[in-house]
Amino acid sequence: MPLITYREAIKQALAEEIEHDENVCIMGEEVAQYNGAYKVTEGLWEKYGDKRVIDTPISEAAFSGLAIGASCLGIRPVVEMMFMSFSYVAIDQLFNNASFCRYMSGGLMNVPIVVRGPANGGTNVGATHSHTPENMVANHPGLKVVCPSNAYDVKGLMKTAIRDNDPVFVMENTLLYGEKWEVPEEEYLIELGVANILREGSDLTIVAHGRCAMIALKAAETLQAQHGINVELVDLRSIRPLDEETILNSVKKTGRALLVEENKPFCGVDAQISHLIQLKAFDYLDAPVHRVSAIDAPQIYAKPLEDWQIPNEERIIEGALKCLA
Amino acid sequence: MPAAKKKSTTKGSPAENFLQAPINANLSSEEKRDLYRTILGIRRFEERSLQAYNQGKIGGFLHLYIGQEAVAAGVVSLMEENDHIITAYRDHGHALAVGMSMNECMAEMYGKHTGCSKGKGGSMHFFAPEKNYWGGHGIVAGQTPLGAGLAFALKYKGLKGCCVCFLGDGAVNQGSFMETLNLVSLWGIPVVFVIENNGYSMGTSLARSSAEENLAHRADGFDIEWDVCEGHDVFEVREYANRAMTRAREEMKPFLLEIRTYRYRGHSVADANHEKYRTKEEIEEYKKNKDPINVLKAQLLADGSLTEEDAGKINLEVKSEAEAAAKFAEQSPVAPRSEIQTDVYWEVDNDTSNSLKGTYFFND
């Protein structure tokens, strides 16, 4: 099986969907002639031309809203946010119009758009470029959001998102773009709402999403090797819809849960999951549910401090040991 | 406070008799009476809705279009197969003009299951996609990029048509609108922005909200063609809108049309100050000289396409239609509670084989 980067996997997904459906088009800042700020769309404009791969001015509100309007008539725009942080200047379009048009029209409309781009910190760029708004998206019924942790997942989820008839946010991660995973050559899709058990174990369940799942995987190996703790790792993949069943089955098996995410803790995704576990697996718990989130402050610029602010292996191990204490 | 600036005149001849303009000259008497019926219908519908609002039967806001009816009626009468429209929250007139029924519109305001949005949208959020009407949007200028998107889709698909996106004079100062003007000009998108300039963004007059009071001039900054006309004469609206829409369709270019109009009522019915930020005389003056119903009626009586008897009959018909709509709304049921969680996700609503995975809704 070919080993390809997360970036290449996204590009393959976009190219395949452009070829699969004539109504799929890519738009965003620098996606075409510049080849993508992070080279995710490299070569697509050259291959598919102006109609399918469209450079926009720096006007997130205008092109997000334009994508929504176009989707009303059957176009399936994939909108790139150079950083998901920039979606904040398009909040009315994305969080009012994309999310609620279907509802407010009593089901007469639907908005089949994809909003994709990196949503992560850890890149030494300060607070304005480091948002992880999957919790904010998930707080808006009508929107869907996925956080793929690896190349295989991002390709399968991206293709599903583009074919989905509702607005889907795909949260990528600049720190994953250059990482490689095995990705099959034949076409595949990954359903929304299905978590992935990255590692089976019996002592502790770690629930994570996005890049945190990959960090947790390393932490799990260390916990096994150094502490004899056998971790089961649930990678959520999809936040809304959420695979509650896989989370609960794992927690019922291990009796302990550590929730790891890059989000800030207050109303983070894991706040919801923690509630879920206490409500539906209360009698199975042998310890309180613990969380490792970003340290609760605006994203700091200084690199050594930011590396500590967002979850890392050391902090995850510390959290796991609390669950087992 | 800067002195009020001189308003620009239209680019067309101000002395034109718009009834004789080519787009109007060929209208049959029946078509002219239909315009009268549409305009009068909007007025009677809204008067009836106001009564219901004052009785506490309609909740939320009620942004009345009274005084502006000729704008929506005139523009919509020009729509062709591939033309679409979208507007803001003062949306009843556009809805009725595209042919939505008084029943479904009134029931929506009553929050009933029989409403056009099943009672999920309310007064500001009427939609009829099958009639190429895409709302009904509650946030000022929020609909403007959507209007651009509808027109973008026409171009993408190679269809000859345009989207008319209505906005108020208050919307011109929103960033999303200015961003959109740039985008549509840059990309050659067949959208016609119609600014329904009624002089007030809520309680703030144009002079107090816009540095350049000639709103259409903003198009110059984006290399977009513009024009200005009056909104009380439906034939004038049709003449100017036709030029803009034809150009958009034929040349794949955007257009900014400022239509000067007036609303008799407040920003919404809850706007108790609307006789404080403007004078009663100003309102009465417009009603007396420029009421779109009176103006149209006089024109049609003069050219013989309408008699006093016709006018009286149409009035009774639309009035009773509005009355019946109120009764229909009154008697209709509220949607069952289970409807709160439908129409959220297309995929959930259409999951007939129950194959979707994961949890979509998160209440205990």
Residue A25: which H helix or E strand, with range?
strand A24-28
Instruction: Identify which of B135, B150, B357 has the shortest CB distance to residue A105.
Output: B135
Give the tens place of pLDDT for each residue, B143-163. 999 999 999 999 999 999 999
Decide if A189 touches B, using CB distance below 8 A: no
CA distance A42 to chain B (A): 22
Question: Would the CB atoms of B157 and A73 count as touching at under 8 Å?
Answer: yes
Question: Would the CB atoms of A141 and B175 count as touching at under 8 Å?
Answer: no
Give the tens place of pLDDT for each residue, B162-201. 999 999 999 999 999 999 999 999 999 999 999 999 999 9
* pLDDT value of residue B7: 55
Tell me the pLDDT band of B5, cut-offs 50, 70 and 90. very low
Question: Would the CB atoms of B129 and A242 count as touching at under 8 Å?
Answer: no
pLDDT at A210 over 80: yes
Question: Would the CB atoms of A107 and B118 count as touching at under 8 Å?
Answer: yes
Is the separation of the CB atoms in A79 and B98 below 8 Å? Answer: no
Decide if A102 touches B, using CB distance below 8 A: yes
Decide if A278 touches B, using CB distance below 8 A: no
CATH numeric code, A3-182? 3.40.50.970
- Nearest residue to B243 (alpha-carbon basis) of B150, B162, B177, B157: B162
* pLDDT value of residue B272: 76
- Domain segments of chain A: what residues? 3-182, 196-324
Is the separation of the CB atoms in B9 and B214 below 8 Å? Answer: no
CA distance B145 to B151: 10
What is the mean pLDDT of the segment spanning A284-305?
98
Tell me the pLDDT band of B2, cut-offs 50, 70 and 90. very low
* pLDDT value of residue B249: 98
Decide if A166 touches B, using CB distance below 8 A: yes
CA distance A240 to chain B (A): 6
pLDDT at B335 over 90: yes
Give the tens place of pLDDT for each residue, A126-159. 999 999 999 999 999 999 999 999 999 999 999 9
- Nearest residue to A57 (alpha-carbon basis) of B350, B145, B291: B145
B contacts of A109 (beta carbons < 8 Å): 127, 129, 134
Window 205-234 of A: residues touching B by CB (8 A cutoff) are none
Handedness of CA A294, A297, A303, A305 (dihedral sign): negative
Active site members of A: 60, 129
Tell me the pLDDT band of B1, cut-offs 50, 70 and 90. very low
pLDDT at B14 over 60: no
What is the mean pLDDT of the segment spanning A290-318?
98
What is the mean pLDDT of the segment spanning A88-116?
98
Decide if A198 touches B, using CB distance below 8 A: no
CA distance B185 to B170: 21
B contacts of A64 (beta carbons < 8 Å): 145
Decide if A141 touches B, using CB distance below 8 A: yes
Is the separation of the CB atoms in B136 and B165 below 8 Å? Answer: no
CA distance B196 to A176: 49
* pLDDT value of residue B270: 83
Share of chain B above pLDDT 70, in %: 96
* pLDDT value of residue B150: 98
Give the tens place of pLDDT for each residue, A30-72. 999 999 999 999 999 999 999 999 999 999 999 999 999 999 9
Mutation choice for B interface testing from A66, A79, A111 by most B CBs within 10 A: A66
CA distance A111 to chain B (A): 9
Instruction: Identify which of B118, B150, B358 has the shortest CB distance to residue A69.
Output: B150
Beta-strand relationship, B84-86 and B163-168 = parallel
Helix/strand/coil (H/E/C) assignment for every residue in chain B? CCCCCCCCCCCCCCCCCHHHCHHHHCCCHHHHHHHHHHHHHHHHHHHHHHHHHHCCCCCCCCCCCCCCHHHHHHHHCCCCCCCEEECCCCCHHHHHHCCCCHHHHHHHHCCCCCCCCCCCCCCCCCCEHHHCECCCCCCCCCCHHHHHHHHHHHHHHCCCCCEEEEEEHHHHHCHHHHHHHHHHHHHCCCEEEEEEECCEECCEEHHHHCCCCCHHHHHHHHCCEEEEEECCCHHHHHHHHHHHHHHHHHHCCCEEEEEECCCCCCCCCCCCCCCCCCCHHHHHHHHHHHCHHHHHHHHHHHHCCCCHHHHHHHHHHHHHHHHHHHHHHHHCCCCCHHHHHCCCCHHHHCCCCCCCCCECCCCC
CA–CA distance from A137 to each of A114, A264, A268 (Å)? 13, 14, 11
Tokens 């239909």, residue located: B34
Task: Please tell me which residue of chain B has the smallest CA distance to A108.
Answer: B129
Window 40-59 of A: residues touching B by CB (8 A cutoff) are 51, 56-57, 59
Task: Please tell me which residue of chain B has the smallest CA distance to A51.
Answer: B156
Mutation choice for A interface testing from B152, B189, B356 by most A CBs within 10 A: B152
Task: Please tell me which residue of chain B has the smallest CA distance to A94.
Answer: B142
The DSSP secondary-structure symbol of A283 reads G
CA distance A318 to chain B (A): 30
- Nearest residue to B302 (alpha-carbon basis) of B20, B12, B22: B20
* pLDDT value of residue B4: 44
Give the tens place of pLDDT for each residue, A215-251. 999 999 999 999 999 999 999 999 999 999 999 999 9
Mutation choice for B interface testing from A25, A52, A53, A72 by most B CBs within 10 A: A72
Tally the C-alpha atoms within 13 A of residue A211's C-alpha that lie toward its C-beta: 26
DSSP string, A181-236: EE--SS-----TT--EEEE--SSEEEEE-THHHHHHHHHHHHHHHHH---EEEEE-
Instruction: Identify which of B130, B146, B358 has the shortest CB distance to residue A193.
Output: B358
Tally A–B CB contacts below 8 A.
Answer: 183
Work out the angle between the directed axes of helices A211-227 and A313-324 (0-180°, nearest 10).
60
Tell me the pLDDT band of B276, cut-offs 50, 70 and 90. confident
Task: Please tell me which residue of chain B has the smallest CA distance to A72.
Answer: B150
Is the separation of the CB atoms in B132 and B161 below 8 Å? Answer: no
Residue A200: phi and psi, rounded to 5, are -90, 145
Tally the C-alpha atoms within 13 A of residue B150's C-alpha that lie toward its C-beta: 25
b/e sequence A128-163, b meaning 16+ C-beta within 10 Å: ebbbbbbbbbbbbbbbbbbbbbbbbbbbbbbbbbbb
- Write the ipTM: 0.97
CA distance A142 to chain B (A): 5
What is the mean pLDDT of the segment spanning B294-316?
97
CA–CA distance from B311 to each of B47, B70, B102, B305, B315 (Å)? 18, 16, 20, 10, 6
Spelled out in words, what is the top-level CATH class assigned to the domain A196-324?
A: alpha beta
pLDDT at B131 over 70: yes
Give the tens place of pLDDT for each residue, B214-261. 999 999 999 999 999 999 999 999 999 999 999 999 999 999 999 999
One fold for both A3-182 and A196-324? Answer: yes
* pLDDT value of residue B294: 97
The DSSP secondary-structure symbol of A35 reads -
For chain B, which domains are there? 30-334 (3.40.50.970)
What is the mean pLDDT of the segment spanning B324-330?
98
B contacts of A108 (beta carbons < 8 Å): 117, 127-130
CA distance A90 to chain B (A): 8
Instruction: Identify which of B120, B144, B145 has the shortest CB distance to residue A103.
Output: B120
Question: How does the average pLDDT of chain B come out, rounded?
Answer: 94
Which of A164-168, A228-232, B271-275 shows the lowest per-residue confidence on average (mean pLDDT)?
A: B271-275
